[in-house]
Structure 1
Amino acid sequence: MTVNEKTAQADETEAAADREVLVEVKNLKKYFPVKGGILKRTVGNVKAVDDVSFKIYKGETLGIVGESGSGKSTLGRMMMRLIDSTEGSITFKGQEITNVRQGKVRPLRKDMQMIFQDPYASLNPRMSIGEIIEEPMVVQDLHDKEERQRIAGDLLETVGLSREARDKYPHEFSGGQRQRIGIARALSTRPQFIIGDEPVSALDVSIQSQVINLMEDLQDDFDLTYMFIAHDLSVVKHISDRVAVMYLGRLAEIAPIDSLYKEPLHPYTQALISAVPSTDVTKKKERVVLEGDLPSPSNPPSGCPFHTRCPEAHERCRAERPELTDMGNDHYVACHLYTDPETGEVIRD
């Protein structure tokens, strides 16, 4: 490593230390029991999330990517306390919220909101748009009725709809418009942290870009911190500051977006990035095709969970589970290719 590279790495480390941590997840697990037999005893567990740790800094967007079944949505729902975790801890603004009783979770949700994947199922068809947006304020006992109506109208205009839309019902809107309504509802309590659970995956490509641009504008206007869940790396590239790659309930890699795209370290990340379409026809791109299917989370492979599909796998991968290793510049990877098997020290090119 050159002197300039060492200086740059030191600057990155110092900058990271100065950032305010808004959310911290430590060793988080979620196991769903599998029942069997006449007595319906627990015969196994689906390891949806298996020992995940990371931080989200105030004002940033952390993208979470991975194939279907990798545990992304389960992770988001645990962080919102929609489902309880099996082990681990979740800290929000310095407060441990993992085991907070449901009665005390409600006040926290003023500052933590979620945008759901399905814009059709996430809106109550029996409620008007105004009632949908006002409901979180009613639950949190915020403002009087007149003020709630005014805020709902303002938020509709903020997300690109008219104030008159508050008297209509969800079936009168398109998918993209419904997702805008979902965003307005999430903003109604003026939260600090929003989890987007694949908020654009059900939308047409042209509408996806509009919604992503809207979310970026709102992040600046409302001083928001996002966790943006998606299965498409080309989507998270445009909105994320850092990206965490999940595979079979575990983190494979986490890095700043530029670092991840320029130099992906984990073989799984390399395969995902190789599948992202390129508009540059002059640039030849070698596609990494993964063989086999995603293993069952109820019976995950021993050692590295990716070794059954990894072209670089060796004996150590089958026997020993890799831990996230700091490669410098806020770039972490869980892969035996980057650690010495004898000393455990990081191997650098």
Structure 2
Amino acid sequence: MTQPLLEVKGLTKHFTSKQGLFRKEKVVRAVDGVDLVIYPGETVSIVGESGCGKSTTGRCILRLIEPTDGQVLFEGKDIRRLSGEELRKARRDMQLVFQDPFASLNPRKSVGQILEDPLIVHGIGTPAERRNKVEEMIEIVGLSKQQLDRFPHEFSGGQRQRIGIARALILRPKLIVADEPVSALDVSIQAQILNLMQDLQKEFSLTYLFISHDLSVVRHISDRVAVMYLGKVVEVADKKKLYEQPTHPYTQALLSAVPVPDPHHTAQRIILEGDMPSPANPPSGCTFHPRCRHCMDICKTTAPAWKERADGHLVSCHLE
């Protein structure tokens, strides 16, 4: 059996904030016990509303934010136990593509310098060898080496995201965490970037953790999907099973909101009542129960356990 490339166990990230006249300290449960397994070569997507903890989960996995608790096993090694040189070496294999391609690129450096920086940090090659790698990579993502002396503000949004992808790929990583990589782009450009990412995945044997709120995009690129709500994963399934047979009421509501390009399609929209509760004061029991149309008494007091609905289709709900 294939060993997981990445295994996340009980990942937790709590922030503290001080509120009120007496500056009383409150705990914000941004990520609250996430379990996730990703195998080599697949694309696993995390979806959910804004504020559900998707991006924080991705950053905790890479240790850009230090987790409060839990394990992050990359090729069997716990990333949380690494430090110094060991952590720096591990990060060669784990890279991030940011949501905002402009904010993530240094405006004072040319594209050539931006792409060369990771090679310098990790002590890879001579200046001439690094330049060759940079020229090769910029052409792989669909730009030309004549553009390497330009600065980020001279490119369009789609071109800047290609540069961001090139920077992530320059070290030949095994895992890429893509944090809403197309949400800031026009729809036509989104398709180009998604197709590019799929081509690169085949060419370089990449594994993706794809973070998005756009279920149409997720359906296009994913192998498996994990649905998050208020810091917790509530359903995990193969893409086809999730879209055709969603089980958790929250997943059903999300999928009912996806536009269908068919004027004769009359599926009923499931409207969620109220806003997502604050992670500083999550509801007892099942955190989704205040907005759930199927809420039962047990939902208000007892957190649901994971149940396997079918092969690999896991759901955390009392209905199942």
TM over 0.5: same fold? yes
User: Would the aligned equivalents of 1:49 and 1:250 in 2 still touch at CA under 8 Å?
Assistant: yes
How far off its partner does 1:78 sit?
0.5
Tell me whether 1:324 sits opposite 2:306 in the alignment.
yes
**Number of the residue aligned with 2:9:** 26
With over 3 angstroms needed to count, the CA separation of the structure-2 counterparts of 1:37 and 1:100, relative to structure 1, is farther
Shift of 1:40: 5.6
Residue 121 of structure 1, aligned match among 103, 109, 133: 103
Alignment partner of 2:244 out of 251, 259, 262:
262
Q: Deviations over 1:282-316 (max 9, x none)?
A: 33211111110010000000010100101011111
CA distance in 2, matches of 1:98, 1:286: 45
TM-score (normalised: structure 1): 0.90
Partner Cα separation in structure 1 for residue 31 and residue 18 of structure 2: 19
The residue aligned with 1:134 is: 116
Give the Cα–Cα distance (whole angstroms) in 1 for the partners of residues 96 and 3 of structure 2.
21
Structure 1 residue matching 2:146: 3-state secondary structure = helix
- Matches of 1:206 and 1:219, distance apart in 2: 20
Q: Which residue of 2 aligns with 1:157?
A: 139
Pair 1:292 & 2:286 matched: no
Offset at 1:38? Answer: 8.0
Structure 2 counterparts to residues 32-181 of structure 1, below 5 A: 32-36=15-19, 43-181=25-163
User: Distance in 1 between the 2:21 and 2:258 partners?
Assistant: 48
TM-score calculated relative to the size of structure 2 = 0.97
Cα distance in 2 between the residues matched to 1:204 and 1:195: 21
Q: Is the 8 A contact 1:255 1:332 kept in 2?
A: yes
Q: Distance in 2 between matches of 1:199 and 1:236?
A: 11
Pairs within 5 Å for 1:208-223: 208-223=190-205
Structure-1 residue corresponding to 2:179:
197
User: After the TM superposition, which segments of 4 or more aligned residues of structure 1 sit over 3 Å from their partners?
Assistant: 36-41
Aligned counterpart for 1:186 among listed residues 159, 168, 171:
168
CA contact (8 A) 1:325 1:332 kept: yes
Quick one: which amino acid aligns to residue 301 of structure 1?
P
Superposed CA offset, 1:135-192 (max 9, x none): 1111111111111111111111111111111111001001110000000000000000
Secondary structure of 1:125's aligned partner = coil
Q: Give CA deviations for 1:82-113 in whole Å, capped at 9, x if unaligned.
A: 01111110000111111322443111111000
- Identity, % of aligned pairs? 54
* Amino acid corresponding to residue 150 of structure 1 in structure 2: N
2:212 to 203, 207, 230: 230
Q: CA deviation at 1:329?
A: 1.5
RMSD of Structure 2 on Structure 1 (CA): 1.3
One-letter amino acid of the counterpart of residue 157, structure 2: G
Secondary structure at the aligned position of 1:327 is classed as: strand
- Once the two structures are TM-superposed, the CA of residue 325 in structure 1 deviates from its matched residue by 1.3
For residue 301 of structure 2, what is the amino acid of its counterpart? A
After superposition, the Cα gap between the structure-2 partners of 1:108 and 1:286, relative to the gap in structure 1 and judged at 3 Å, is same
Counterparts of 1:323 and 1:82, CA distance in 2: 30
Conserved 8 A contact 1:81-1:105: no
Are 1:315 and 2:297 matched, yes or no? yes
Q: Quick one: distance in 2 between partners of 1:54 and 1:164?
A: 42
Match of residue 13 from structure 1: none
Instruction: Give the Cα–Cα distance (whole angstroms) in 2 for the partners of residues 210 and 285 of structure 1.
Output: 30
| Aligned with 1:253 (options 223, 232, 235) | 235
- What amino acid maps onto 2:117 in structure 1? E
- Structure 1: which 5+ runs fail to align? 1-17, 339-349
Range with greater deviation from structure 2 (51-60 or 276-285):
276-285
1:239 and 1:60 map into 2 onto residues whose CA distance is 10
Aligned pairs, number:
320
Does the 8 A contact of 1:322 with 1:335 survive in 2?
A: yes
CA distance in 2, matches of 1:314, 1:31: 29
For residues 173 and 235 of structure 1, the distance between their equivalents in structure 2, rounded to whole angstroms, comes to 24
Taking the aligned partners of 2:268 and 2:123, their CA distance within structure 1 comes to 55
Query: Distance in 2 between the 1:323 and 1:132 partners?
Result: 46
CA distance in 1 between counterparts of 2:20 and 2:271 reads: 40
